[in-house]
Amino acid sequence: MAAVAPARPQEIANERREPVNRRTTRERRRPGALRQLPWRRVRNPYPPLEPLPAEHLEAIVAATGLPRERVDAALSRLLGLGLLKPLAEFVPAAADAPPPPAPLLCIRTCQRPDSLARLLQSLLDDERRFDVRRRYVVVDDGPNAAAGATRSEVEAFARRSASDVRLLGAGERRALVGWLGADVAGLGGLLDPEVLASASGGRAWNWALLLAAGGTLGLLDDDFRFPLRLPLGAAPEIDLVTEYALEAEFFDGPGALRSLAPIDEDPYAMLSRLLGQPPGALLRRHGSSPRSARLRAAASLACLQPPARVAAVCGGIYGALNYDSSVYLSMPNRSTLGSLLRPPFDERRLDGENLWQGRRRPHFMATGVFTPLLLDARDVLPPTGTLGKSDDGLFMALLSTCDPHAPSMAVPAAIGHFPPPGRDRRAAAERAAIEDVSTFCAGVALSVAPMLRSADRSLRLAAVAAVMRDLAGGSDAALAGTWSDWRDRMLLRVIQPLYRSLRDGGPGVAPAWTEHVRRMIAANEAALRERSVSPARLAEVRAALSQLGHAPVDWPTLWARAGAPLLAQLRPLH
């Protein structure tokens, strides 16, 4: 289509308009910026560059009260001036990429054989339902003394399943470390609890990455359950939201979660159709929701531009909340608060034990947050730390920093999450927000990303490691200042939304919830006033920074030796 040259300012000024004093009352109430647009033009010298979505036009008509033809003329003019562009100019349509290889499914477990048995049974049911065979590795991060029960459950599963099943226990771990030899020197803390006995799922995560190197990886925790289910109102159109933004629905009574419909195909076949695809191909295939782009900056789509490929596919959860605190359930999300506070209000909803959390439409994320259901491991992936709790969030932040063209995609499908009882999320929410060194290190990594220009993942990972080493080597005062700055921002990201929730809830909401929110605010405001950082906290932060300042330098060498040759060292169980 030929470009249309914009009119000169004087030509615009000379266009015939109706007298100003004939504006209607509705028009006089328009915001000043809208009044400046030449609504009254008779001639429209700027034909649309492409048909505008009818939903877009109607939404503006409804919001402004203007006649449809005037809205059409104004939008056409903005298109002609280059001030308004169609989505295809930000995220060009693209052809489908070849499908990825079948995934290796790695299950992380640690001293929870009963929970592992329930996951394995649900996987077996899923296999039989869709008549599929898969590849599994159970990564046991527990000590030798507790390994017998886990091994028995995995061997029983292997006998009943038609799939390839392997186990990485303590003995196998020592053998693999020996096979890797000198390449694993200095990385023991990332892989071996006998080197660094921290309570972390990060070691099992790192083994899963190495075993799947060169292919694709499905990550499962032993408290997950199949089948994957869809929320009410799930839709295939893609929301143009690129940040972490979840909603929740609360269920009352036993068995209510069964109202979520199970997906009707092999979940990994569905997820594989998304992994490794250009965002432009998925937008072409599934379409998008124009309403979701409202008030969003065009810069938010930068992570979707070529050569972007979906690096991870993440789902929601149903069952129990995957946080130790339920504070985020009271954040100002209209859908979530509507479900939480619907009458009659049940305080047990604040426990986060019987809910669905996710998104009803798929959307891209510049940086993922939770454990992905499927991960592209065909290019080098970063390790995660083993000294904090949020190993999944740290990994996703490092991935985003190592490759700005590796967005994640969240899908409506949700996996069951049924951890052992004992978490009091409501009580935890009324204490100050959890201060986790992995979340802190994730923030450091993301702060480095805008300064990096290389397209080489290993080089970018080395740059992040250099910053981590620099921070770890600073004085106590410097490190305390960096930690406190991060901590203050983290606390404010809790306090400010909670105040908005109180405002949005209005005077008619349940008093029990209002008091709960006030106690959460008070706890976090008290923590914000605390300015000292204990020596023990400084030592913990310094250790986490030091680990991520040294291990990632040697990680790409280890990655090059891993993958299929490493997996072959684990014999299949029968």
Q: Over the stretch 213-254, which tens digit does the pLDDT of each residue have? A: 999 999 999 999 999 999 999 999 999 988 877 899 999 987
Least confident of 14-18, 166-170, 252-256, 352-356: 14-18
Q: State the pLDDT at residue 24.
A: 41
Task: Give percent above pLDDT 70 in the chain.
Answer: 89
Strand partners, 136: 105, 165
Q: State the pLDDT at residue 23.
A: 40
Q: State the pLDDT at residue 53.
A: 62
Q: State the pLDDT at residue 5.
A: 38
What is the value of pTM for the model shown?
0.86
Angstrom distance (rounded) from CA 553 to CA 88:
39
Q: What is the DSSP string of 39-72?
A: TT-S------SSPPPHHHHHHHHHHH---HHHHH
User: Is the model's pLDDT at 147 over the cut of 90?
Assistant: no
**What does the mean pLDDT of the chain come to?**
87
Q: State the pLDDT at residue 494.
A: 95
Q: At what angle do helices 476-505 and 535-561 cross, to 10 degrees?
A: 90
pLDDT band at 393 (very low <50, low <70, confident <90, very high): very high
- What are the start-end ranges of the E strands in 284-407? 288-289, 312-319, 355-358, 363-365, 374-376
Q: At what angle do helices 437-448 and 535-561 cross, to 10 degrees?
A: 60
DSSP code for 164:
E
5 burial (CB, 10 Å; 0-12 / 13-18 / 19+) is exposed
- Which pLDDT tens digit goes with each residue over 33-91? 333 333 333 343 334 444 566 766 787 888 888 898 888 888 888 878 877 777 778 88
User: Is the model's pLDDT at 373 over the cut of 90?
Assistant: yes
The type of residue at 242 is T
The residue-averaged pLDDT of 154-158 equals 97
Angstrom distance (rounded) from CA 65 to CA 68:
9
DSSP code for 350:
G
262 burial (CB, 10 Å; 0-12 / 13-18 / 19+) is middle
The residue-averaged pLDDT of 254-263 equals 91
Contact yes or no for 223/115 (Cβ under 8 A): yes
Q: Between β-strands 247-250 and 261-262, what pairing exists: parallel, antiparallel or unpaired?
A: unpaired
User: Is the model's pLDDT at 313 over the cut of 90?
Assistant: yes
Contact yes or no for 268/123 (Cβ under 8 A): no
Q: State the pLDDT at residue 533.
A: 96
